Chains A and B, each alone.
Chain A
Amino acid sequence: MKRIAKRTMTLVSLGAMIGLSACGGASGDNVSATQAEMGTLDPANPITVAFYSYSLAYPTMKPGMEQLIKEFNETIGKEKGVIVEGVPDATMQQYKADISAGKAVDIVQHPFGTLDSSRISLGFKAYEDTFPQEELERHLEGISPNALELGKIDGKMYGLAFTFSTPIVFINGKLFKEAGLNPEQPPETWEEIKAASLQIKEKTGKDGFGLAPSNGWITEGLILSNGGQVLSDDRKEARFAGPESTEAISMWKDLYQNGASAVGTEAELSEQFMAGNLGMYASSTALHSGAKQAADAGGWKLYGAGMPRFADQEAVPVNSGSVLAVRPDSSNKNAAVWEFIKFVTGDRGYTIITSQVGYLPLRTGLADDPNGLKDFVEQNPLYKINLEQLKKIKPVAIWPGDNATEIATLFTDAIVKAITSEDDVADTLTKAQDAINGMIQ
């Protein structure tokens, strides 16, 4: 019996070893070294480029993003020999998993906060190392310089600003009027937001204002607007537990816990607003097309306001959205990827992105261009608010190093806890700040 058991073990381990050797070969391929030179493209043998995009996964953004890819494939792609395949990536995890599995992931619509982490661990490349200098400079002309700065780490561009928005307060004109407020003159400070919100609640019975505690980015704008800091300029120290930040978050906690704010997740708040049950909703312009459709369907008019300020201080809007991060693995791929990037961040690309999806045209000249977005912006005056904010925009924190995702989670969790629980704001923020600084150093 013992002998049989022993032999079985031998066999099992033999089986395991066969398995080991069989699976060992899968992780052999390598991430190639950087190549700044561009290969050639051949229309007869088109190169396939994989483009991972979260916009492709959301109903309000999907048609616009699909049109962008389709138009490229049918025009420049066909002419030069590039086929772009879009991969929807709702939670921004798919590209990580696919890179881990050794698949070709060439272009990623990448969020700002974790760009440094991806640069270090996922093999994303700097634009300066991938594309020829003069081509790059020529293409970047006309794009808002503030926006270009945002994807730079240590002086090199690891992401080209792509879909982009600043905070906006969407307003339900019908609820505003029912409450005796004028949507043409929306609240400008946080005190006015609170007063208006309570008035809407009292007069209409519906929630007056909503900002999801887990939103992550408008939070940073809130802290910066009150003179606080999130991350030090050299990105080596988290600083979001200072008195200004604490004051800003305490103000929000007061809104949240004293009846002046709707409760729920980001998705729940946007659904509430689109169902016509929320007076004001602070979010991203990316939701514009969805909000406008909901307003038309529900028979109310959509208004908007910029990011509110604290008393006499100027509001500091931050950016939300994404950059295009690239990791082509050959010189021919470089050329193919570059063609797509030129198209989507060019005049035609931004015209589609703004009019079909809702993000801002980073080629700001398009807003005055009759062939571009002049008509669209006139019909949708909300965009003027955002284009105006673009001039004073500050970047969201790009968290340093390997632990960026963990740090971003710690930061968001601390904010959510400070706002929604009974815990002391200063204590909660300080604890999270210490934990983050422990990870950075």
Chain B
Amino acid sequence: MSKTMEELYSPLVKGKQKAAARNWNSSKLWRKLKPYLYLLPAAILLGIWMYKPLIHTFYLAFHKWSMVPGTDKLFVGFDNFTRLLQNEAFAGAIGNTVFYTLGLLPFSIAIPLVLAVVTNQMNPRMKNFYRALFFIPMILAPVSVSAIWRWLFHPSNGIVNHLLLKLGFVQEQIAFFSDASWAKWIILLITGWKMLGFSTIMFAAALTGINREYYEAGAIDGAGSFRQFLYITVPLMSPMILFMLTMSLLFSSQWTFAYIDILTTGGPYGTSTNIYYEMYRFAFSNLNVGVSSAAAMLFFVLFGLIALSLNAVSRRFAFYDN
């Protein structure tokens, strides 16, 4: 009887306990799951747009394929990599990538820093006028910008050659876009001019965050404007300077792409091409996506290392005025 009683009695209690446990478990599970659910949309988007192509690029780097649907991908092992490293055009493209990356630094760091500081001291109206002037090239379409520069630098009809000849600086017209000693300098100049405004605006924004009291204290101690710039402005802007340095180093090759494509298509004889343009040509002109992917993999690793080391530099040298 007691057993029956127990049997009658205990399941009820057990059931209660189970229900309680279940409630507790599911709420715990829900609590644990919630952050991931919030992350899910971003994770899916990243997966589709970043990780999937990345994995696919890695896969394609070991295959020969023309990207035509229905055709087979042929596994070729490390062939694409050896072919790439033997390719002279590729070596030249690496050299030019370094040229563009270093060459853009004055346009992305030095000149904008000066422009931002100089315009910062103007009255608000002039400040806005000048900053708008610097920023306008940034929002112009690369194709129209290229067309205008092409007219300016045209060998026979362009104003630049006309002036150079009139002023007696040169005896013969210069074909800026088809002369190997000029083409990449022109591409650099156009890209730099286009990017100037972006850095200037970023630096100007960082400048407004600096406490004026430092300058007052500096002035009382007898620091001139150059010393103030060197010992107050630069250290306090170091996080933004390092950020722009990272951006400039990592993206300069992409920024030059449009002008290379429109103005020189990498020529004359590959002297103005860069690594991104070569990758594009490997894939979409030569229809050899394997070689293009192999190049992309190499540069993924290389740029990854650059980004990591810049991160370390930033942690070491950036000064935050908290």
Q: Give every chain A residue within 8 A of B174 (Cβ-Cβ).
A: 263
A16 CA to B47 CA, complexed, in Å: 4
Do A23 and B66 touch (CB < 8 A)? no
B71 contact from A12, A22, A121, A416, Cβ within 8 A: A121
Do A272 and B286 touch (CB < 8 A)? no
Stretch from A26-34, A169-177, A389-397 that touches the partner: A26-34
* Chain B positions 119-155 with a Cβ under 8 Å from a chain A Cβ: 154-155
A213 CA to B172 CA, complexed, in Å: 18
Given known A23-B48, A214-B268, A277-B156, contact A405–B69 (CB-CB < 8 A): no
B71: min CB distance to chain A, Å: 7
Interface SS of chain A:
helix
* Chain B positions 240-275 with a Cβ under 8 Å from a chain A Cβ: 267-270
Do B173 and A263 touch (CB < 8 A)? yes
Given known A19-B48, A413-B270, contact A275–B157 (CB-CB < 8 A): yes
A413 CA to B88 CA, complexed, in Å: 12
A15 contact from B44, B55, B180, B269, Cβ within 8 A: B44
Per-residue contact bits, chain B 21-54, to A (CB 8 Å; 1 contact, 0 not): 0000000000000001001100111111101100
A121 CA to B178 CA, complexed, in Å: 32
A258 CA to B319 CA, complexed, in Å: 59
A22 CA to B52 CA, complexed, in Å: 10
A272 CA to B156 CA, complexed, in Å: 6
A148: min CB distance to chain B, Å: 27
Do A417 and B269 touch (CB < 8 A)? yes
B40 contact from A15, A23, A413, Cβ within 8 A: A15
B257: min CB distance to chain A, Å: 14
Q: How many residues of A contact B (CB 8 A)?
A: 55
A63 contacts chain B at the CB level, 8 A cutoff: no
* Chain B positions 155-183 with a Cβ under 8 Å from a chain A Cβ: 155-157, 172-175, 177-180
Do A416 and B267 touch (CB < 8 A)? yes
- Residues of chain B whose beta carbon lies under 8 Å from any beta carbon of chain A: 36, 39-40, 43-49, 51-52, 55-56, 66-71, 88, 154-157, 172-175, 177-180, 267-270, 284-288
- Residues of chain A whose beta carbon lies under 8 Å from any beta carbon of chain B: 7-8, 11-20, 22-23, 27-31, 93, 96-97, 99-102, 117, 121-123, 207, 213-214, 259, 262-265, 268, 271-272, 275, 277-278, 402-403, 405-406, 413-414, 416-417, 420-421, 435
Q: List 18 A-B contacts (CB under 8 A).
A: A8-B36, A11-B43, A16-B48, A19-B44, A19-B48, A20-B52, A23-B48, A28-B69, A30-B69, A263-B155, A263-B178, A264-B156, A268-B177, A271-B157, A413-B268, A413-B269, A417-B269, A420-B178
